[in-house]
Amino acid sequence: GAVVSQHPSWVICKSGTSVKIECRSLDFQATTMFWYRQFPKQSLMLMATSNEGSKATYEQGVEKDKFLINHASLTLSTLTVTSAHPEDSSFYICSARGGGRGTEAFFGQGTRLTVV
């Protein structure tokens, strides 16, 4: 299958700082990218959906100003957690899809964010 590379795989940052997570589709053009947050032993909670060149669509309850999503090209989307707090510590996963709703979505390896 296609490859989605997510970087970094883990990061520790100080409270109040910002951290950027990158998600790249390596061998296909990702028209749609999804960002999820996963708590231990829980489901993937959809945070936002982004289409290349458009503003991201955020799910209800997700702070747009805190979780900045940019989908500047067909192969790259970034999630920036601004002014991070310990409660933002979580596992973040990106997913990329190269076609419509029936197209397989490929997932990055995830990023473990710890805010201290």
Residues that bind other proteins (CB under 8 A): 1, 32, 34, 36, 38, 41-44, 46, 49, 51, 57, 91, 93, 95, 97, 100-102, 104-105, 107, 109-110
Structure tokens at 116: 């201290």
Which tokens is 106 given? Answer: 């490929």
Residue 104 CB, nearest approach to other proteins (Å): 5
* Rounded distance between C-alpha atoms, residue 99 and residue 26, angstroms: 15
Nearer to other proteins, 11 or 105 (CB): 105
Quote the least distance from Cβ 107 to other proteins, whole Å. 4
Query: Encoding tokens for residue 89?
Result: 């510590």
Of the pair 86, 102, the CB lying nearest other proteins is at 102
Pairing between β-strand 111-115 and β-strand 90-97 as defined by DSSP bridges: antiparallel
Number of C-beta neighbours around residue 50 at 10 A: 26
Closer by beta carbon to other proteins, 55 or else 85: 55
